């Protein structure tokens, strides 16, 4: 008996997601998102974990957001526990796009302090979007332990996450600024500057903070 059209289209799209050509994978992800089908969900999640091209991963995430949350959420929550860093990172990114706060318990301290910078950045962004009312101080306390970590992009991501939590982070920032770790000091001071003046550029804030640290610490800044 001949297969019906829906029965042939799904396998064809799934094969295209694994094509060697990025343009073909991009078109397949677009097609899947345009015509959502429950049969695609697991394949989309799995492809996110191995897809090397950023723009294709972004289209895969979009395609997942087009499917019912009842199907995508369980698959993504499993994926954030994956041993593969890209799988964890992309699952977290997709959860941030879906925005369902039932995912909050999966944003663990382990993810927020993940050794992989991209995973940690994704966890920070997702956490500040999903954090329930009243849980902000606990989240801020974990994020503050990461001050001084990584390069410019990682530090900027962390500063943005802390600023998004509002004034509750100020005591934490000042505590770190008073510590002995000069990199963490400068990062904390720059983040506090951004909290006070969101229009200040991160580069300016971090350079100013480094000057303050070099001149003797946070007390000079507070006395201005």
Q: How far apart are the first and last CA of the chain?
A: 82
Q: Tell me the two tokens of residue 165.
A: 């939590």
Q: Give the single-character DSSP code of 131.
A: P
Polymer length in residues for the chain: 224
Domain ranges, ordered by start, for the chain? 42-130, 136-218
- Give the CATH fold of the 42-130 domain: 1.25.10
Would you write out the chain's pLDDT as a tens digit for each of its 224 residues? 344 444 456 678 888 999 999 999 999 999 999 999 998 999 999 999 999 999 999 999 999 999 999 999 999 999 999 999 999 999 999 999 999 999 999 999 999 999 999 999 999 999 999 999 999 999 999 999 999 999 989 999 999 999 999 988 999 999 999 988 889 999 999 899 888 877 665 554 555 555 555 556 544 444 44
Interatomic CA distance for residues 16 and 5, integer angstroms: 17
């Amino acid at each position: 008996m001949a297969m019906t059209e829906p029965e042939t289209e799904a396998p064809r799209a799934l094969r295209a997601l694994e094509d060697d050509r990025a343009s073909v994978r991009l078109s397949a992800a677009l097609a899947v998102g345009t015509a959502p089908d429950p049969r695609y969900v697991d394949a989309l999640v799995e492809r996110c974990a191995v897809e090397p091209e950023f723009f294709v991963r972004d289209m895969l995430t979009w395609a997942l957001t087009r499917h019912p949350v009842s199907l995508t959420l369980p698959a993504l929550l499993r994926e954030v526990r994956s041993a593969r860093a890209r799988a964890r990172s992309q699952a977290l990114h997709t959860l941030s796009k879906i925005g369902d706060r039932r995912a909050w318990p999966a944003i663990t301290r382990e993810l927020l302090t993940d050794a992989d910078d991209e995973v940690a950045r994704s966890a920070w962004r997702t956490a500040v979007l999903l954090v329930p009312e009243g849980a902000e101080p606990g989240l801020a306390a974990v994020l503050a332990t990461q001050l001084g970590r990584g390069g410019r992009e990682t530090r900027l991501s962390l500063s943005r996450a802390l600023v998004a939590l509002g004034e509750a982070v100020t005591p934490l920032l000042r505590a770190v600024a008073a510590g002995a770790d000069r990199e963490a000091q400068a990062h904390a001071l720059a983040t506090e500057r951004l909290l006070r003046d969101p229009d200040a550029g991160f580069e300016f804030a971090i350079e100013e903070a480094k000057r303050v640290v070099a001149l003797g610490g946070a007390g000079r800044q507070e006395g201005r």
